[in-house]
Amino acid sequence: MEKGSYIYCIIGANGGKKFTPLDGKYLTRFTLPGIGGGSDQIYSISYRDIAAVISASPVMRYPISRENTIAHQKVLEELMEEFTVLPVKFGTVASSKDGVCAADRIRGEVLKVRYGEFKELLVKMDNKIELGLKAIWTDMKTIFQEIVDENREIRKLRQKLFSKPVTQPFGEKATLGEMVIHALERKKSKEERDILNVLKDNYIDKRINKVFGDKMITNLAFLVERSKVEEFDRLVDKLDTTYDGRIKFKYVGPVPPINFVELVIFLKE
């Protein structure tokens, strides 16, 4: 199979650096293999003062499996301990062409051509990390009861249906179901606003990601200055105390800013 180079990210760096336990200057704890579970060494190739972090790879489409995505993510997480990291989209592989190896193509066709763009992003993302926060209701029975208590029209229709025989028309049941769904979404939006209001002065940017199921209220990603991480931690603890078990918070980070930067790199075939 044709050999190429897998691209993990762009960093600010001078000169090619090998990220191994033997390198005393850079990432001495970097012991992870490259993607694919092989023994390919992870290293950087540079143009001026920026670099691409890569490893040898077959020219192939990587399945979006747990093993592969974790391998990609772990490389970024170790790099971010010492560098500003611009994540590259998962599965990006460069091939050789016309006698030019993949690594040299990345230097000439990516780093050199997009130097200004990458430098600007590196300045923008310097000393910033991503924090993730999911909020999940712990007891949906209580939440649905709150919806009934808070919505007069839902309460009236529900009481009307309870007073009818089991063979009542399906239409009114469907109407009640739709009303509850809309009320649930409004309740989620309000809870989300309340959570964001507590955190509002301690992040630079945010992303509101897709939620899954009735229980998940919100799925947030925040871009945060490293100097404010401790305060952000304190505010998440405050949220946990305020909601006192009514809402479970899943707090993740620091992680690379994948929700805010995901470089798409194409090399012409």
Residue 66 has pLDDT above 70, yes or no: yes
**Contact of 266 with 91, CB cutoff 8 Å:** no
Please state the rounded mean pLDDT for residues 61-90: 90
CB 261 within 8 Å of CB 84: no
Predicted pLDDT at 145: 83
pLDDT at 34 over 80: no
- What ranges do the domains of the chain cover? 3-126, 129-255
**For residues 230-261, b (16+ Cβ closer than 10 Å) or e, as one string?**
eebeebbeebeeebeeebeeeeebbbbbbbbb
Cα gap 132→222, rounded to integer Å? 6
Q: How far is Cα 99 from Cα 181, in angstroms, rounded to an integer?
A: 60
Closest CA to 150 of 211, 191, 121: 191
Contact between 161 and 179 under an 8 Å Cβ cutoff? The reply is: no
Please state, in angstroms and rounded to a whole number, the distance separating the CA atoms of residues 28 and 72: 18
Looking at the DSSP bridge assignments, the partners of residue 155 are: none
Residue 50 bridge partners (DSSP): 12, 47
Model confidence at 146, in pLDDT bands (50, 70, 90)? confident
> What share of the chain in percent tops pLDDT 90?
50
Q: How far apart are the first and last CA of the chain?
A: 16
What local confidence, expressed as pLDDT, does residue 14 receive?
60
Tell me 220's DSSP state: E
State mean pLDDT over 198-217: 93
Q: How far apart are CA 228 and CA 250, in angstroms?
A: 19
Reply yes or no on whether the pLDDT at 175 is more than 80: no
Q: 61-70, 116-125, 221-230: which range is least confident on average?
A: 61-70
pLDDT tens sequence across 225-269? 999 999 999 999 999 999 988 999 999 989 999 999 999 998 877
Q: How many residues does the chain have?
A: 269
pLDDT at residue 28, as a whole number? 38
The predicted pLDDT at position 20 comes to 46
Say if strands 50-58 and 3-12 run parallel, antiparallel, or are unpaired: antiparallel
Mean pLDDT value of segment 202-208 = 95
CATH value of 129-255 in 3.40.50, 2.60.40, 3.30.70, 2.40.160: 3.30.70
| Mean pLDDT (the chain, rounded) | 84
Cβ burial of 68 (10 Å; 0-12, 13-18, 19+) is middle
pLDDT at 199 over 90: yes
Q: How high is the pLDDT of residue 24?
A: 35
Amino acid at 151: N
Q: Is the pLDDT of residue 2 over 70?
A: yes
